[in-house]
């Protein structure tokens, strides 16, 4: 009884502590201290993008050391790991967006933000061409921004491999707008399928949801979609019970190629139980407005062409290089062999360029294009830039003291001691190690409140899948959310969709 009493007291106290801490964080967010004005005489550091790489850099950067300008067509940071949940309304899209203005307001010194797209970089003149497409103005304004230091964190675009019809007829899953479009399209298919006097073939087509690409994006989306159907749509529209189908198409022999074998098998068997049809060794070759045409390899090795009518097609076959990055690659001779992005050295400096760094999906540093890599690269650059600024400051101090030594020789012992101290600091600061990525593991949601996790554990690997892993998946992503506001909104969404079901109204 005593143990129970103490457990209860401790739980109560930690809950109270948690609420108090969250309250304090919210108060701090809402009452930020006065900011120092940006100093235009300092070096201009331009950061392109507001994604994982750029925002991690901003978060840790001492903005008072530079004249910081952020340029991105998106005025918010997007927590991509929970984006698949927005396609079905498990999470509302605003819960995983954090305005860049709030992020910048938390910094000690002011930084500028331009909501615009960088269209080209001139590494010789050290200027960036930017273009602001404004609905309010009704036109496009183009201008140039000069930089002393440039960080490129523009991410990647969706790959289509030039397959005919993909761009015109598929939905992608990279941005908030994509998730909203998919959410509308799911309900459009469902409502259209229930309209009167339709042929059975048409109903079957409308209720066939096809996902191309068995990487983590395709798998997580297929899982969310099947959950949506099983937990909500089926209950509200029971006549669709046997007709709604989700098919996942993958060119390789299995889905989730980057996960361990045991987890691949677990995912495939879970999908089988959930009635998600996985078609592996099937490569999509052509897309029309109503069908997907693929080449499938049969067990005997023979190839056959299969045509699948679809209502919704989601294309998730990975990344392609953005136009602005391709353009820069073409301007730097040392980058002539770069195909997947900007080749960077171990300090993330773009090879063959001066004062340009690249982070995240647009940089090729030998790691997978993931949020984990991008955010570690961003934090590394922040440390590097903070150190560079400190170095300059200390070198200035040393210069000043050395010249005072010549002017007032009487004070020399004390000044020499100070110089030596500064030199010691300088050696410590200058000793910054190259970027080293530390892999924490991979997680993916696979539906029916199950997840898979490949976790790096000391020097080994720990693989697990199931309901407990799902709880781990949720708590890990919750802890990684950008702000307390995001965390509270996501918890609220999870509770709301569990208690009331997902909202099936079509905006
Ligand atoms: P992004 O985060 O894509 O940001 C790019 C930024 O650049 C954006 O702000 C964009 O608006 C801006 N931009 C684009 N063009 C320009 C331009 N011309 N000028 C200026 N700015 C520009 N990774 C994980 O590790 N774990 C996960 O669970 C995970 N889940 C994912 C789920 C989905 C659905 C997707 C699509 C990806 C997921 N990823 C995950 C991968 C992860 O999101 C990316 O690796 C990560 O976003 C890369 O960060 P980044 O900063 O390079 O690019
Ligand atoms: P991906 O590159 O990981 O997977 C794309 C898949 O599409 C590949 O398996 C490929 O074989 C397949 N494919 C390509 N062309 C095809 C075709 N014509 N027909 C059929 N299949 C075809 O892409 P994804 O899933 O978008 O992920 C991109 C990056 O983001 C990866 O690095 C991934 O690890 C990361 N990510 C991580 C997540 C997580 O950790 N939970 C979630 C989502 C993305």
Helix 176-193 × helix 216-228 angle, to 10°: 40
Domain ranges of the chain: 1-31, 36-156+321-389, 166-319+439-500
Ligand nearest to the CA of 451: 2
Hey, which residues does 287 pair with through a beta bridge?
292
Answer whether 167's CB lies under 8 Å from 293's CB: no
**Nearest residue to 228 via CA among 47, 9, 448, 499:** 448
Q: Is the CB of 177 under 6 A from ligand 2?
A: no
Ligand nearest to the CA of 318: 2
Q: Is the CB of 80 under 6 A from ligand 2?
A: no
Measured in angstroms, how far is the CA atom of residue 371 from the centroid of ligand 1?
Answer: 7
Mutate to test the pocket of ligand 2, among 52, 159, 217 (most ligand atoms within 8 A of CB): 217
pLDDT score at 77: 98
Question: What CATH number was assigned to the domain covering residues 36-156+321-389?
Answer: 3.50.50.100
Q: Is the CB of 50 under 6 A from ligand 1?
A: yes
Mutate to test the pocket of ligand 1, among 155, 222, 454, 474 (most ligand atoms within 8 A of CB): 155
Q: What is the pTM of this model?
A: 0.94
CATH fold of 166-319+439-500: FAD/NAD(P)-binding domain (3.50.50)
Residue nearest to atom 15 of ligand 1 (CA): 154
DSSP string, 131-162: EEEETTTTEEEEEEEE-SEEEE----EE--TT
pLDDT score at 458: 75
Q: Is the CB of 179 under 6 A from ligand 1?
A: no
- Residues counted in the chain: 507
pLDDT score at 47: 98
pLDDT score at 410: 65
Q: Is the CB of 65 under 6 A from ligand 1?
A: no
Using the atom order of ligand 1, give the atom closest to the CA of residue 324: 18
Q: How far apart are CA 176 and CA 254, in angstroms?
A: 28
pLDDT score at 426: 77
Run of H or E including 398: helix 371-407
Q: Is the CB of 493 under 6 A from ligand 1?
A: no
Using the atom order of ligand 1, give the atom closest to the CA of residue 77: 9
C-alpha dihedral (474, 475, 479, 482), degrees to nearest 10: 20
Answer whether 444's CB lies under 8 Å from 218's CB: no
Residues 55, 354, 398, 428: is their CA dihedral positive or negative? positive
- Alpha carbon separation from 175 to 62, 82, 453 (Å, rounded): 29, 11, 24
Ligand nearest to the CA of 281: 2
Which parts of the chain have pLDDT scores under 50?
none
- DSSP three-state, residue 349: strand
Q: Is the CB of 97 under 6 A from ligand 2?
A: no
pLDDT score at 166: 98
Domain 36-156+321-389 and domain 166-319+439-500, same fold? Reply is: yes
Measured in angstroms, how far is the CA atom of residue 181 from the centroid of ligand 2?
Answer: 20
Measured in angstroms, how far is the CA atom of residue 315 from the centroid of ligand 2?
Answer: 10
Q: Is the CB of 274 under 6 A from ligand 2?
A: no
Ligand nearest to the CA of 263: 2
Hey, which residues does 296 pair with through a beta bridge?
282, 304
Hey, which residues does 462 pair with through a beta bridge?
455
Residue nearest to atom 12 of ligand 2 (CA): 213
Q: What is the pLDDT of residues 73-105, one digit of tens each?
A: 999 999 999 999 999 999 999 999 999 999 999
């Amino acid at each position: 009884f005593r143990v129970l009493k103490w457990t209860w007291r401790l739980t109560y106290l930690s809950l109270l502590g948690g609420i108090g801490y969250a309250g304090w964080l919210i108060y701090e967010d809402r009452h930020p201290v006065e900011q120092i004005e940006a100093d235009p005489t300092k070096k201009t550091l331009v950061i392109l993008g507001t994604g994982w790489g750029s925002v991690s850099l901003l978060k840790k950067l001492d903005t008072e050391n530079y004249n910081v300008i952020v340029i991105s067509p998106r005025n918010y940071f997007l927590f991509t790991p929970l984006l698949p949940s927005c396609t079905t309304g498990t999470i509302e899209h605003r819960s995983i967006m954090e305005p860049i203005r709030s992020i910048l307001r938390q910094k000690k010194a002011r930084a500028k933000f331009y909501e615009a797209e960088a269209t080209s970089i001139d590494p010789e003149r050290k200027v960036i061409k930017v273009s602001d497409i404004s609905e309010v103005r009704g036109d496009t304004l183009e201008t140039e921004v000069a930089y002393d230091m440039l960080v490129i964190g523009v991410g990647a675009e969706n790959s289509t491999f030039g397959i005919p019809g993909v761009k015109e007829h598929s939905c992608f899953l990279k941005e908030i707008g994509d998730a909203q479009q998919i959410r509308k399209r799911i309900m459009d298919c469902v409502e259209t399928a229930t309209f009167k006097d339709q042929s059975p073939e048409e109903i079957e087509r409308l209720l066939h949801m096809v996902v191309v690409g068995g990487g983590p994006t395709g798998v997580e989306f297929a899982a969310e979609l099947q959950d949506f159907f099983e937990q909500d749509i089926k209950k509200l529209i029971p006549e669709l019970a046997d007709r709604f189908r989700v098919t996942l198409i993958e060119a390789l022999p299995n889905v989730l190629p980057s996960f361990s074998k045991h987890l691949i098998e677990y995912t495939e068997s879970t999908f089988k139980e959930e009635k998600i049809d996985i078609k592996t060794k099937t490569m999509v070759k052509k897309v029309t407005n109503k069908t997907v045409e693929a080449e499938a390899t049969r067990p005997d090795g023979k190839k056959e062409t299969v045509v699948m009518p679809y209502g919704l097609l989601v294309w998730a076959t990975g990344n392609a290089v953005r136009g602005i990055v391709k353009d820069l690659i073409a301007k730097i001779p040392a980058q002539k062999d770069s195909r997947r992005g900007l080749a960077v050295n171990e300090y993330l400096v773009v090879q063959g360029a001066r004062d340009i760094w690249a982070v995240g999906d647009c940089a090729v540093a030998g790691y997978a294009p993931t949020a984990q890599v991008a955010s570690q690269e961003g934090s590394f650059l922040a440390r590097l830039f903070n150190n560079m600024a400190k170095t300059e400051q200390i070198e200035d101090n040393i210069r000043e003291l050395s010249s005072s030594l010549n002017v007032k020789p009487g004070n020399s012992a004390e000044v020499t001691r100070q110089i030596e101290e500064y030199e010691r600091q300088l050696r410590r600061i200058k000793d910054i190690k190259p970027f080293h990525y530390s892999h924490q593991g991979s997680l993916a949601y696979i539906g029916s409140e199950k997840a898979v996790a490949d976790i790096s554990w000391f020097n080994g690997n720990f693989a697990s899948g199931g309901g407990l892993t799902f709880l781990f998946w949720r708590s890990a992503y919750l802890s990684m959310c950008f702000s307390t506001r995001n965390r509270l909104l996501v918890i609220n969404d999870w509770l709301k969709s569990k208690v009331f079901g997902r909202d099936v109204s079509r905006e």
